[in-house]
Amino acid sequence: MTFTIIFLIAFIASFGMRHWLAQRQIRHVFQHRDSVPTEFSSKVTLAEHQKAADYTIAKLRLGVIENGVSAIILIAFTLLGGLEILNLSLLQLLGEGVAQQIALLVSIVLISGVIDLPFSWYKQFYLEEQFGFNRMTKKLFFSDMFKGIAVGGAIGIPLLWIVLTLMLKAGDLWWIWAWAALSIFSLLMQWIFPTLIAPLFNKFEALEEGPLKNQIEALLARCDFASQGLFVMDGSKRSAHGNAFFAGMGKAKRIVFFDTLIEKLNPGEVEAVLAHELGHFKCKHIRKRLIVSFALSFVTFALLGWISKQVWFYTDLGVMPNLNGYNGGLALALFMLVSPVFSFFLTPLGSLASRKHEYEADNFAADKSSAQDLISALVKLYQDNASTLTPDPIYTAFYSSHPPAPLRIANLARHR
């Protein structure tokens, strides 16, 4: 019973807090809807500012509904016995064993996916469409979905099999082996993802010869950065939002620009955006994030190793453990469902570290490229993405991976 109460407190606190933060942000953005912040008044029109406010609020309202639905689903799976029913029916159908446990986890993922489907559909074809950002066809939506399921299954099911077999056969310290296996896998993905998986969803073409390419190569030389090529990705087939990123590690690093980014920004601005991304690399943010994620997953697996042996973990969350030791699937399922309720409270720490990294990358870009170009690129991107320029401070502190626009631009302006 004790754990039921702890779970319920964390559940109410986390879903309540999500709701409260979203409402704060909606109110704050709405209150600042009617005037462009002075530092942007020469660059952003009132109409653009209001579009950003309306878009931000529309996304938040959808998020509030999704938050409510996922709260209901979590309770339905756990305390209301959904997982127990699913587990028993699959036991009847498949008998005991690793196959039944895989089926249990796959069913949960599929059920959550089906519930999520109307939300993704609405978001893409109503919300994004209404604000002029959607470029995706319905055919592409479904082909993405089926490809996603196929790739997820082809990678996820063998991984699950490895973890469940370790749980069953590797003794008390199975979790160290499982952690090691998943860590090696995630390093492998850094190489597999850009070369084998991303091309299933997008076309990557080498950046064409010309002034932009020369300018970028000069920047790479200035920053002493070796990459395995510059690519342009057809992001425009899904969305009008623009971006630039790196993929891969070590010698396999690729630099990828969304075609939408190159359309919207002039070569100097593209260079500044890339310099920011190079900053993340040169300030070792990518390596730090990887190390932190390995450390966090080590702690998570240690916790899972211990908690999966506690009978109360199952009974207090509405399931009966199997008596013969085939509890790996149930433990993973419960852990997957319940742990976000607790880990939610760590969100501000991750956001804080991320915002610090963003300033460092901006400073790097100001140093190696141009603060002025990065400012004008950011203003264009805020406009094009209809990002709000007036976020609520508490919402930002909790969630935002990037500093709010006015602070970020003020920091860059100091470099001029």
Residues making contact with Zn ion (CB under 5 A): 358, 361
Q: How far apart are CA 92 and CA 96, in angstroms?
A: 9
* 312 three-class SS: helix
- Active-site residue among 128, 269, 316, 362? 362
Please give the backbone phi and psi of residue 385, each rounded to the nearest 5 degrees, phi first: -90, 0
Shortest distance, CB of residue 83 to Zn ion, whole angstroms? 39
Shortest distance, CB of residue 398 to Zn ion, whole angstroms? 19
Q: How far apart are CA 156 and CA 139, in angstroms?
A: 25
Shortest distance, CB of residue 285 to Zn ion, whole angstroms? 8
Sign of CA dihedral 16, 19, 22, 26: negative
Contact assessment for residue 80 and residue 318, using Cβ atoms and an 8 Å cutoff = yes
Query: Which of 136, 410, 377, 60 lies closest to 243, judged by CA?
Result: 377
Residues in a beta bridge with 245 = 256
Query: Which of 229, 272, 270 lies closest to 248, judged by CA?
Result: 229
Told to judge if 277 belongs to the known catalytic residues of this protein, a careful annotator would answer yes
Residue placing its CB nearer to Zn ion in the complex, 77 or 364: 364
- Active-site residue among 128, 269, 271, 277? 277
Shortest distance, CB of residue 275 to Zn ion, whole angstroms? 11
Residue placing its CB nearer to Zn ion in the complex, 358 or 384: 358
Q: Which ranges in 209-346 belong to alpha helices (H)?
A: 211-222, 259-264, 267-282, 285-307, 311-315, 328-343
Residue placing its CB nearer to Zn ion in the complex, 104 or 244: 244
Shortest distance, CB of residue 232 to Zn ion, whole angstroms? 20
Query: Which of 188, 190, 168 lies closest to 178, judged by CA?
Result: 168
Residue placing its CB nearer to Zn ion in the complex, 246 or 313: 246
Residue placing its CB nearer to Zn ion in the complex, 105 or 233: 233
Give the residue numbers marked as catalytic.
277, 362
